[in-house]
Amino acid sequence: MEPGTSVCSEMKETMKMLHRIYNKLGLKKKQTIESYKKHYGDGFSNSVLYASILTGLHPCVLLKIKDGSVNPSKTEYSPSLCIDRADILGELKIFYFVKQIMPTTRQLYDALQEKLPPYMDIASFRKQLAFMDFMWRHISQRFYVIERPEVVYERYKYLKCIIEYHDQNKPIYFIDEMAFKKVIVNNKCTSYHVSNDVNYPGTEVKIVYAASKHGIMFNCVENFNGKELGYFLCDTIMPNLAENSLIVMKNTKHHCDQLIKSKPSLDSLICDLKEWLDLREIPYDENMCKAELYALVEKCTDKDNNFYVADNIFTARGHTVIRIPDHIENLTPTNLIFNVVQTSHVPKPFEGAQLRNIAIQFFESFDENHLESYFDIVMKENIKLFNDDVKIDDMLDSLVTKMAGVTFDGEEDSDIPSDSESDVES
């Protein structure tokens, strides 16, 4: 065999293999374009559809880029812009209630085009869905977008409780906080910036408050922390609460300070084990040894049952404490109050020292009629959201059965992000 014959033979085989792959990719491209045509109709050319396949962008966005109506240099078109989760959930309900189907990622992506940042491709959209606690249900070789069941469950519990208190005309108090920071122009305080993050850098005035239909209780604090919040709850809120009130807290750090930071172990003192059991009202014999006490801790305590400082303050006096779930944390009267403060403007320059007085004046003079209207607005949204959740729960099984009978063409939206494979429910 002449030198190099083996190498030439291998090169020929390699070229044949590459040729086969090229032909296969060409066939795949043709099949995928046909699938896109079937999905989007005949309104787009093959080049636009293929560009959509390669980039993940919607064909309409690609046409806008082509005609210049979307400018890549503008920051408002950054794909990092947040999507409003309420828009996604609203569109999901349209699929359920109106179209009577469960949507794939692409169907949801297409339906939300007017509300998405133009440069958000479908891969980024999938990641946003996972980040916002949506997941995929695997039915008959397709993946359909649904809300995480635990998110729906927490929202259901919260809404059921708050609606029951409202229907029984029992008092409801929302606990929140707000921070004020001076805006200085030419060495003069021209206005102020408001944040609902009391740890926002540079804030001079921090206010913690409780809002009900009938008024606002508040206090200015130097440093907002769990200790200051505890003082406010005990000294300001507690003496003024009506009987059997509902206290709505947030899921933030200081609202969730725990009485006991961690479950005791065998290394803990006997007194710590007893304190843990006493707090949970679990009976034990005073003469029990450490091993026996620890066995009770292991057997009788719920690992997911947290005991918070605020809860202990209120429940000991006959009140109920709930925390607003993630993703509807803005569905509160205090958020409407925050929006009013945020859009209020001081008409003329003021002295920096006056900022505290301006903040206090706002809370002291807040119109009770406005408060009542804010509560009514929020409660209407709560009732609508609750009824929608109940309706979805009633119809979801029939939708799953319906989607199991849908013919699968093997092309459209058959995959999910690799980093979200754990977010699939079979």
Whether 264 has a pLDDT exceeding 70, the answer reads yes
Whether 385 has a pLDDT exceeding 80, the answer reads yes
- The residue ranking higher by pLDDT, 238 or 184, is 238
Q: What is the pLDDT of residue 182?
A: 78
104-141 CB burial, b ≥16 within 10 A, e <16: bbbbbbbbbeeebbbbbbbebbbebbbebebbbbebee
Interval 190-211 mean pLDDT: 81
DSSP state of 202: T
DSSP state of 260: S
Which of 37-41, 197-201, 248-252, 274-278 has the largest mean confidence?
Answer: 248-252
- The residue ranking higher by pLDDT, 183 or 282, is 282
Structure confidence at residue 425 as a pLDDT band (50, 70, 90): low
Q: What is the pLDDT of residue 137?
A: 93
Q: Torsion angle, CA of 164/147/120/78, rounded to 10 degrees? A: 40
Q: What is the pLDDT of residue 78?
A: 46
Q: Which residue has the tokens 């079937």?
A: 38
Structure confidence at residue 277 as a pLDDT band (50, 70, 90): confident
Q: What is the pLDDT of residue 88?
A: 96
Q: What is the pLDDT of residue 76?
A: 47
Which of 6-20, 153-167, 341-355 has the largest mean confidence?
Answer: 153-167
Q: What is the pLDDT of residue 409?
A: 59
Q: What is the pLDDT of residue 75?
A: 41
Interval 299-319 mean pLDDT: 76
Interval 331-342 mean pLDDT: 90
Percent of the chain with pLDDT over 70: 78
Interval 110-122 mean pLDDT: 86
Whether 231 has a pLDDT exceeding 70, the answer reads yes
Which of 71-80, 196-205, 276-285 has the largest mean confidence?
Answer: 276-285
Whether 1 has a pLDDT exceeding 50, the answer reads no
Cβ atoms of 126 and 64 closer than 8 Å: no
Whether 198 has a pLDDT exceeding 90, the answer reads no
**What pLDDT, in 10s, does the model give residues 138-158?**
998 889 999 999 999 999 999
Round to whole Å and give the CA distance between 133 and 101: 20
* CA pseudo-torsion sign 396, 399, 405, 408: negative
Whether 212 has a pLDDT exceeding 60, the answer reads yes
Q: What is the pLDDT of residue 400?
A: 93
Q: What is the pLDDT of residue 320?
A: 94
**What pLDDT, in 10s, does the model give residues 33-87?**
677 776 776 777 777 777 777 777 777 777 777 776 666 554 444 444 578 899 9
Structure confidence at residue 170 as a pLDDT band (50, 70, 90): very high
Query: Measuring CA to CA, which residue among 322, 423, 411, 336 is closest to residue 40?
Result: 411
CB within 8 Å of 257: residues ≥ 6 apart: 226, 229, 230, 308, 309, 310
- The residue ranking higher by pLDDT, 263 or 416, is 263
Q: What is the pLDDT of residue 160?
A: 97
| Mean pLDDT of the chain, nearest integer | 81
Q: What is the pLDDT of residue 6?
A: 58
Q: Can you name the residues that pair with 173 across neighbouring β-strands? A: 247
Interval 244-267 mean pLDDT: 82
Q: What is the pLDDT of residue 228?
A: 82
Interval 323-327 mean pLDDT: 92
